[in-house]
Chains A and B, each alone.
Chain A
Amino acid sequence: EAQVTQNPRYLITVTGKKLTVTCSQNMNHEYMSWYRQDPGLGLRQIYYSMNVEVTDKGDVPEGYKVSRKEKRNFPLILESPSPNQTSLYFCASSLKSGAVNTEAFFGQGTRLTVV
């Protein structure tokens, strides 16, 4: 089954404790991205990757890091989480950014709480 898998689904952590949220897709998609969803703000892009070893900042990259060493994986790293990073995070993948029939496939989400 074609899917985007995020782990964990739920995470509560303390300020300053490094964490990683994993994302994996099995569709051989080139393009992957991370979004955060906050009430009243919709989805805002954090980082995206056009292909292996190619990443770029989205609209709200501060406090986050990503890496793309393999095509299927795109982990999101919070080196020193703060309470304002409490949010619902989604990973998404698509065939490639410029393809006209590209639709984004989303993971189930990771609800992160930083206390």
Chain B
Amino acid sequence: AQSVTQLDSQVPVFEEAPVELRCNYSSSVSVYLFWYVQYPNQGLQLLLKYLSGSTLVKGINGFEAEFNKSQTSFHLRKPSVHISDTAEYFCAVRSGYSTLTFGKGTMLLVSP
């Protein structure tokens, strides 16, 4: 079975500060990893994905994530956040032919 743990339910940060949203996963086989963003009153939008190859993955809106197999992590980072980045972020994992499993989400709160 696969699972995803997002350790922080909320991350408050000031505008222009760097941010890291943590994601750890468990799976017994090779995994595909995703980060989705949900803006208020909207559906989920794909930020970035790791399928294979380079462990550093760049996504939209200046976000990036690094796949660390030994630590089973896929943390999301942005060097300088904007007010408009305020949203809920979901890490998700899929292994083999299984379905997508989501973490419980991290609410990023950016204040001026």
Q: Decide whether A and B are members of one complex.
A: yes
Interface residues of A (CB under 8 A from B): 4, 33, 35, 40-45, 48, 58, 90, 92, 97-98, 100-104, 106-109
For A101, the chain B residues whose CB sits under 8 A away are 51
CB-based nearest B residue for A43: B102
In the bound complex, CA of A102 to CA of B6 (Å): 22
Q: State whether A103 touches B99 (Cβ < 8 A).
A: no
Q: State whether A106 touches B90 (Cβ < 8 A).
A: no
Q: Given A42-B90, A42-B105, A100-B32, do A90 and B44 touch, yes or no (CB 8 Å)?
A: yes
Q: Does B75 sit within 8 A of A, measured CB to CB?
A: no
Interface SS of chain A: helix, strand, loop or mixed? loop
In this complex, the interface size class of chain B, counting residues with CB under 8 Å from chain A, is: 20 to 34
For A104, the chain B residues whose CB sits under 8 A away are 34, 44, 46, 100
Interface residues of B (CB under 8 A from A): 6, 9, 32, 34, 36, 41-46, 49, 51-52, 90, 94, 96-105
CB-based nearest A residue for B6: A42
Q: State whether A42 touches B104 (Cβ < 8 A).
A: yes
Q: State whether A106 touches B44 (Cβ < 8 A).
A: yes
Question: In the assembled complex, how far is the CB of residue A76 from the closest CB belonging to chain B, in whole angstroms?
Answer: 15
In the bound complex, CA of A45 to CA of B4 (Å): 14
CB-based nearest B residue for A56: B99
Q: Which of B43, B46, B105 meets A109, CB within 8 Å?
A: B43
Q: Which of B9, B52, B96 meets A40, CB within 8 Å?
A: B9
For A100, the chain B residues whose CB sits under 8 A away are 32, 51-52
For B52, the chain A residues whose CB sits under 8 A away are 100
Question: In the assembled complex, how far is the CB of residue B67 from the closest CB belonging to chain A, in whole angstroms?
Answer: 15
Q: State whether B104 touches A107 (Cβ < 8 A).
A: no
